[in-house]
Amino acid sequence: MPQLNNYSNCYGLFWMANSINTTLLGRENRKVREKAFEKNKDFQIEMERARFLTEDERMQKEIAFKRRLIAVSREYRQEETRASFNEQMKAVELKYYLQHCWPLDPNLPYVILKELDNNKSINSNLNVILMRAPLLPLKGYGTDANKLDRDIYANLEYNIMNDDIPLIGNIIYRKDACIRPDMKGGNASIMNIHFLMSQMPTLVVSPHCYDGKMYLTGAVWEPQASRPLIRPLLNFDFEPVKAENDEMYRQQMIDLFHTCISIIIGSVRDSYMMITQGKEPTLPELLNDKGHEKMRQIVISRTDLKEFALQENKNILEALDDKKTPGLLEVFNKEDIESIKKQVYAYHINL
């Protein structure tokens, strides 16, 4: 079996820091609203005083008020026209963007808009997208993806969607979101996805084959995060030519690939849900499920993969240290922190 290597993933601290920033920013916004309310109260008091003015003063005030009203109306109409024009420009730019920059299914943004219109709670769950990098040797002049890649990804995503996600929970898995092969890889595609989906908690898993290895990179973001946190997560030995010609080897690699993807999704989901919503981890439930014995055996046989599954929780414990995380006690009280710690410790025992 090829050797699997892992990197230290540190999404737990990212979720924690972003939660703190969002709370503190929310507090500042509330202060702004309170100041606006106070100004509005002053205005109401001033209007009450105006009632007691003399008739002449009242007429002068009324004239000044009407002039101001006309000026404000003119400003409002101008702003409204500008906003309408900007919306039209955005529509044109979005159409161009979806055609030339958006790396996913062009219909996905409209699907999300429909979900928002239907009040579907997509901001409380973690959106997950799997990019489709070429797996087998390219065809043509090295520019076309192998036709088998589409079937491999279709079966893989079907299994993840129907077998793994129900056990992991709190995931909106965007199956078949990546309809075009991600030939270039890198961070450009991730940044383009973030541009439109920045207001939804999201995980993007991006595979990339290079020099006899399969590399898996993860990108996450929370609403209010100005840019995603992108980290290399796992890599394992992989020979595309052998995978194309040797069916047994290909299936072995697909099983490993599947396991890595689901472990990444489960680990990130657990850290996100524990920190932001106090929910219990579910990755142990996935690995202890009778229908996932093969996945469990792959994890057990690879120390590095098991360590990866536990590393995120170690990072959570570090993030829960108020000495290492300034502002922690501004968001979480000590009881909340101890409750999350208990879940992390239980996670270690169960896994």
43/46 Cα distance (integer angstroms): 5
Does residue 221 sit in the same domain as residue 155? yes
126/174 Cα distance (integer angstroms): 10
- Domain span holding position 275: 4-18+122-350
DSSP string, 296-324: HHHHHH-HHHHHHHHHHHHHHHHHT-TTT
Does residue 131 sit in the same domain as residue 275? yes
Q: Residue 229: beta bridge partners?
A: 220
Closest by CA position to 182, among listed 155, 209, 200: 209
Tokens coding 221: 């973001």
- Can you list the alpha helix ranges (DSSP code H) found in 213-278? 240-245, 247-277
Does residue 258 sit in the same domain as residue 302? yes
Closest by CA position to 239, among listed 62, 56, 77, 1: 1
Does residue 53 sit in the same domain as residue 126? no
Q: Is residue 219 part of a domain?
A: yes
Structural domains counted in the chain? 2
Does residue 41 sit in the same domain as residue 155? no
Q: Is residue 113 part of a domain?
A: no
186/189 Cα distance (integer angstroms): 7
| Counts for the chain of helices (H) and strands (E), in that order | 13, 6
Q: At what angle do helices 303-319 and 247-277 cross, to 10 degrees?
A: 10
Q: Is residue 104 part of a domain?
A: no
Q: At what angle do helices 334-350 and 303-319 cross, to 10 degrees?
A: 170
This prediction's pTM: 0.77
27/213 Cα distance (integer angstroms): 47
**Among candidate residues 37, 70, 89, the one where a domain is terminated:** 89
Q: Is residue 131 part of a domain?
A: yes
Q: Is residue 138 part of a domain?
A: yes
Please list the ranges in the chain whose pLDDT falls under 70.
Answer: 1-10, 20-92, 119-123, 140-143, 185, 330, 348-351
Q: Are 274 and 282 in contact (CB under 8 A)?
A: no
**For position 199, what pLDDT does the model report?**
81
Cα distances from 63 to residues 53, 69, 70, 204, 242, in angstroms, run 14, 10, 11, 60, 86
175/206 Cα distance (integer angstroms): 14
Q: Residue 144: beta bridge partners?
A: 139
293/234 Cα distance (integer angstroms): 21
Does residue 319 sit in the same domain as residue 341? yes
Q: Residue 127: beta bridge partners?
A: 172, 202
Does residue 133 sit in the same domain as residue 79? no
Does residue 189 sit in the same domain as residue 323? yes
Q: Is residue 114 part of a domain?
A: no
Q: Is residue 97 part of a domain?
A: no
Does residue 84 sit in the same domain as residue 196? no
Does residue 161 sit in the same domain as residue 248? yes
Does residue 47 sit in the same domain as residue 126? no
Cα distances from 233 to residues 18, 119, 161, 295, in angstroms, run 21, 34, 21, 18
Does residue 8 sit in the same domain as residue 48? no
151/157 Cα distance (integer angstroms): 10
Cα distances from 86 to residues 92, 93, 110, 269, in angstroms, run 10, 10, 19, 37
DSSP string, 132-181: ----SPPBTTTTB--HHHHHHHHHHHHHIIIIIHHHH-SEEE-TT---S-
